[in-house]
Structure 1
């Protein structure tokens, strides 16, 4: 009888422990998300600064208040170096679990596509080659789409953890 009670006690304790494990996993996943968010926040200003400048130049070019040569120079000397620094730091961010790893991969793919588009745009503007401009814009569109997917998925995960 003592053996049966001992076994039941062990089973009860085991059950209690197993009930606690998902809470521990959820907590560590939540902590991982917080750490990931902090890493992204630490480099977000580089992305914002470069893309805001790009959009400003693009608008001025549409309004014919900025020449292609000036746009190319700004891309070459300001926008691309800043965005390159952002992509470099983005690639250095470590993700502690599969969910964040998959999410982060999308961000990197989008950022790489945008960087390719920005670099192509320099050459396209210097040569006034509309075909290359369209090609560069395609890379920028693909990058934007992937980053928007990253952003909406990030927001979903954020809500999942109660933020």
Structure 2
């Protein structure tokens, strides 16, 4: 069963994406709801999977993770077994922040983060030598993030 979003839900979701630390009362004030009505709507949004979770946004540079790469991976085969083995292995690599199955030249694109060149070299070797089914790895280093958005347009 799909939840139909109205203007109030969208206003609530926008406020939540901007700052999920706001209290239910503060979110309700923004959305024009009482605290109890806001709580009910938030609960419904969570139960329908629209709000998938809450998290803190960390500053990678402040944590010494200053190098970001986008890595295109080509596999030896498109068989279900090869895809599943690759995906299972990628889940165990903490430096891989995102992994996308692609349609196009590459089978996957990974977004990875590293401390320095040596850290990236170690990760690159791990990706190309130890991940199952890897035929080709092509890396692109991000020089600067121009736009990063974790929220969705509502």
Interval of TM-score (by shorter of Structure 1 and Structure 2): under 0.3
Higher RCO by CA contacts (8 Å cutoff, separation 6 or greater):
2
Between structure 1 and structure 2, the one with the greater Rg is 1
Larger relative strand fraction: 2
Larger relative helix fraction: 1
Normalised by the size of structure 1, how large is the TM-score?
0.24
